[in-house]
Every structure is written in structure tokens, then in C-alpha cells.
Amino acid sequence: MEDLVLKCEGEVRNIYDKFDASHDFDHIERVTRNAKAICRTIPGADPMIVELAVLLHDIDDPKYRTDESKTPQDLLISLGADSETIQRVIETIDSVSFSGGQSKELKSIEGAIVRDADRLDAIGAIGIARTFAYGGAKGRKLYDKTEAVRFSMTEEEYRSKDTSSVTHFYEKLLLLKDLMVTEEGKRLAKERHAFMVEFLEQLDREVGLG
């Protein structure tokens, strides 16, 4: 197990090093830490599947995908992973996407762990930092007082419009606390969510978003 995880980590570091600060390898390390914390509270979860899924879940993210991008399956095959491991990892990764506000079906406890771990890194202080890092990398406005928040959208609609960074809080980040699945994920999300709310209230006082 450890050998496959270490080999995978060595391969994906080079991939994430090419992404902006919102999805770099530091993000992977934080999600791994979140996932391990949740794993400790859930007997029976497979730590190898969880760690591999975390390492691979963003390597072909549509936001960064190129013609040269490897899929998680490609990379696992190249590392000599067996077919059952590959299937379980892919199934776990498929559970993670936000998909324009519609959570995908969870097929395993590992999927629940990785989804919650990834979403925890999207909220709180680090979530705020990541949102503005990504917005800056894409040239997005900090906020837009005229922009309407979309409360219902398809995945294509969610990904196709370059909304301001603050709008992203209302379309996704503030929704994540109530979408947590594991008990530990729910517990950890509360404080992070409260911090985001406090931040947005302070921002409103400073720039008058209302």
C-alpha cells in the first residue's frame, strides 16, 4: 500500500506544480490531512483508497486540463495498480465533484471521506485564500455588486460563467457546510463556515455589497 501511494505522490507533484496556488500540491497535502482526520473516526474505511483518490482527484480537473493531461486511470495503470484498486479509486474520485450544486451519488464510505475532506479545504480561512488566489489567476473581479447569484444551475452553466470571487461564496462555498456527509466533516465545517460568514459581513461593511 505505502509503496503505491508514495509512487503516486511522486508522479502527481509535478502535475500540481503547474497549477495555480488554489490547486497546487499544498492543497493536496491539506486534503490528505483532512481525510486522515475523518478516516480515524470511521472504522472500516480503506486508507489506501482514500489517499490515492486525494492524490489523483484534481490531476485532470476541467479547469486545468490540456491535451497532455493524464487521467487518474492512466496514472494508476502506469504505476501497476490492480484493476480492483483502480476501479475503487475512480469511483471515489467520481463522488467528489460539486457539479453546479448537485452532489453526485456516493457509492462508498471512501467517497464520503474524500468529498468532505476536499470541501473542508474550500471553506474557512483557507477557502477564502484559495478563492481569491484562483480568481486572481483567472483575472476575475473581487466582487460585482450588479451580479445575480445563481441558486440553480447545470454543471455546464456553473463552469462556463466567470463570476466574481465573492459571488462564488454564495453559489458554492456557503452551501458546503450543509452538504457534508460524515459526522467529523460536519463538525469541522461549522467553525470554517462561521469564519466565512464573518468575513463576508466585514467585507460588506467595508465596500457596501448590499
Pick the closest to residue 46 from 18, 10, 9, 84 (CA basis): 84
Domains of the chain: 2-207 (1.10.3210.50)
Q: Give the residue-averaged pLDDT of 83-102.
A: 85
In this predicted structure, what is the pLDDT of residue 107?
87
In this predicted structure, what is the pLDDT of residue 68?
87
Quote the pTM value: 0.92
Give the confidence band of 162 by pLDDT, cuts at 50, 70, 90: confident
Measured distance CA(72)–CA(28) in Å, rounded: 14
Give the confidence band of 76 by pLDDT, cuts at 50, 70, 90: very high
Model confidence at 67: pLDDT above 90: no
- Ramachandran area for residue 147 (φ above 0: left; ψ -120 to 50: alpha; else beta): beta
Q: Give the residue-averaged pLDDT of 59-70.
A: 90
